[in-house]
Amino acid sequence: FVNQIVNEEVTPEDVAACPIAFMEQVSPIPNPAIAASPALFGQRRNSRGWDLTDSADLAAIEAARAPHLHTGFAARPRLAGPVAGAPQIEVANPATGERVGHVIPAAAPDVETALATAHPWDAAASDRAEVLRRAADLYEAEFGPIFALLAREAGKSLADAVAELREAVDFLRYYADQGQGLSAAPRGIFTCISPWNFPLAIFTGQIAAALVAGNAVLAKPAEQTPLIAAFAVDLLLKAGVPATALQLLPGDGSVGALLTRDARVGGVAFTGSTETALAIRRAMVEHLAPTAPLIAETGGLNAMIVDSTALPEQAVRDIIASSFQSAGQRCSALRCLYVQEDIAGPLLHMLAGAMDELAIGDPWHLATDVGPVIDAEAEAGIRAHIEAARAAGRIIKEMKAPAGGTFIAPVMIRVPGIAAMGREIFGPVLHVATFRASDLNQVIEAVNATGYGLTFGLHTRIDDRVQRIVENLHVGNIYVNRNQIGAVVGSQPFGGEGLSGTGPKAGGPDYLLRFTERFAPAAVGLPGTSAEADVQRRLNALTPARQALTVRDLPGPTGESNRLSACQRLPLLCLGPDPASALAQAEAVRALGGLAVEAPGLDPAALSRLHGFSGALHWGAAPRAEARALADRSGPILPLIGGLPDTAHVALERHVCIDTTASGGNAQLLAEVSAGA
């Protein structure tokens, strides 16, 4: 109203009138140019949100979860046959030590029962999709016990629990839509091994993708979080997934080992450590079909750069979230912060002050910002790392952990650079380095040199710098002027490269194909006789193009840009084994925009020595020697492809998310408001 003060036709009383009282009498008029939340992703219904600042939403949450504060939950194998079971194990709350429930782990006979009774889901693709949508609705309807379990078993704060449930629901609906018209044949039986840090979302995402493609799924949740997995499987079965298509096998790593060492398994989806992924790969090549796919999402040494042009308050907000939300137990979490030395003093002072505002404690309480780490083993490992830094005088700031539970207080540690870290510290530990503006290229090189490529954050106001860093970093997900956690399904497809994963990205358009068979013609002629030196020479002559093969703008909220690019991988070796097959393989790779080197009849041992390639194709019978040679390599997991390649075999998926409001205003929103006016 104040803007009318110069209008002589408006009375002083109108100018001074209460704008809130005026707005209460006005019916809102929606702007058709701005998508409402449920329609944010078009035809796919967005997951339900809860406003944790709204008293009505908080009351509804508390009414739904409070009855489960002391409920004793139970988990056991969910099989399509009789259950043998191992001795019962109690499950404790990592924050309080209180009993949450118990689990009866799977025994070796249960694994055999599951394998023997598993049957691919042979319903029509549209019917499978509809069942997943029903499951999504059931997940949302059961938010009370789900929120309770996520807090009590996994140590999730309420904000994290809301985000996790939404991600799980988004996975179900997204893959349902993606698989609606899928016609490719399933792999058969897929083993899905999920982590404890996202015990509902990643667990559900793996299963949903494998199921909608028509596979039978053997689900092995993390041994720390079997209760939420059992609850989810019960909802999926209630929605209509056949018992022969989805079986749950809780237990420790020995159960996972059995599920990745049986020839009846057609593929494995795994999220966890790089070391475990490599061990699974080696087991697969000895026992499964040599070309059975491993879809691995692994860890990262994730960095963030904050330059002298960044908005300090915004940077500190995003550093805090990226480092300490979920007690730092996200594979995407910020591990090493690079601050331009010109602003390091004031920024770190502000960051230390922001850390003082964090509340550490039982995640059941709304006020809690940082909960416990998952168990005593994780606590001991992180604490040893902190104590070593303390002994070296490198602690910048450390908070105090509460007594009891497996808590680690958020801490900042000074390092000379990311190379000094050596390994991922999976907890609320932020390493800080400084850099000179003239050394920015060296920082980028240091991040790339780790071999990991999962997430990266950047705070800057210089557009050219954004472009320069994005073009030169080997990272799967880059976030500009925002935090680097919390990827949204279908908007920010998630997954890394190098030591951080095999691709394709979860929640992205190319994920489902890896769960299907892409048949290729059998070898028809005599094997070729490619020489290793000649193959290496031809690999050296091929360099991936800097320009992206494709660029897609993905949906998301106003004020945020989400762009997915497909960039050429290193060449694929086309092993034939005969020249005609090698040529057909190369043509299939090139048709997708990839690079190929024909090498029919190459000595399998050469695959352990050659460099500069990203995988190999082989259409002959049982190429186990080739699979072993690839599995024995150090570094990234390289696939042996037994059928036609898919897009993610030939291209790296790189996603860039930019908070476009950071330049001082939401230009996109203003444009849409103007268009709808």
What backbone phi and psi angles, to 5 degrees, belong to 409? -75, 140
Residue 167 in 3-state DSSP? helix
What backbone phi and psi angles, to 5 degrees, belong to 328? 70, 10
Please give the single-letter amino acid code of residue 555: P
* Active site annotation includes 336: no
Look at strands 550-553 and 560-568 and give their pairing: antiparallel
* Active site annotation includes 297: yes
What is the C-alpha to C-alpha distance for residues 228 and 167, in angstroms, rounded to an integer?
15
Tokens of 627: 């699979």
Please give the single-letter amino acid code of residue 60: A
Per DSSP, the residues of 529-588 read: ---HHHHHHHHHT----SS-SEEEEPP--TTEEEEEEEEEPSPEEE--SSHHHHHHHHHH
Name 537's Cβ contacts closer than 8 Å, sequence gap at least 6: none
What is the C-alpha to C-alpha distance for residues 433 and 415, in angstroms, rounded to an integer?
5
User: Per residue in 567-591, is it b (16+ CB within 10 Å) or e — as a string?
Assistant: bbbbbbbbbbbbbebbebbbebbee
The residue annotated as part of the active site, out of 297, 398, 497, 517, is: 297
How many Cα neighbours within 13 Å face the side chain of 346?
11
Give me the residues paired with residue 574 across strands. 598, 617
The residue annotated as part of the active site, out of 331, 336, 574, 657, is: 331
* Beta carbons of 171 and 204 less than 8 angstroms apart: yes
From first CA to last CA, the distance across the chain in angstroms is 19
Tokens of 181: 């018209």
Look at strands 411-414 and 395-398 and give their pairing: antiparallel
Name 221's Cβ contacts closer than 8 Å, sequence gap at least 6: 194, 196, 199, 203, 228, 229, 248, 250
* Beta carbons of 535 and 573 less than 8 angstroms apart: yes
What is the C-alpha to C-alpha distance for residues 450 and 325, in angstroms, rounded to an integer?
24
Which residues belong to the active site?
A: 297, 331
